[in-house]
Amino acid sequence: MKFLVITDLHQNTALISRFNSIISKTNAEFVLFLGDVTDFGTGEQAAEILSELKSKVYVIPGNCDPLNLPEKIRDVAVDMHGKAADVGGFRLVGLGGSNITIFHTAFELEEEDLYEGLRKNACEGMILMTHAPSFGILDEIPSGAHVGSPAIKRIVDEFHPILALSGHIHEAIGCKVIDGTTFVNPGPAKEGYCAVIDIEDGKVNVDLIGPDQS
Could you read off the pLDDT of 42-101 as tens digits, one per residue? 999 999 999 999 999 999 999 999 999 999 999 999 999 999 999 999 999 999 999 999
Q: Cβ distance 155 to 128 under 8 Å?
A: yes
Band the pLDDT of 214: cuts 50, 70, 90: confident
Domain coordinates in residue numbering, the chain: 2-209
Please give the average per-residue pLDDT across 24-35, as a whole number.
98
Rounded to a whole number, what is the distance in angstroms from the first to the last CA of the chain? 20
pTM over 0.95, yes/no: yes
| Superfamily, domain 2-209 | Metallo-dependent phosphatases (3.60.21.10)
Q: Give CA–CA dist 147/57, Å, rounded.
A: 28
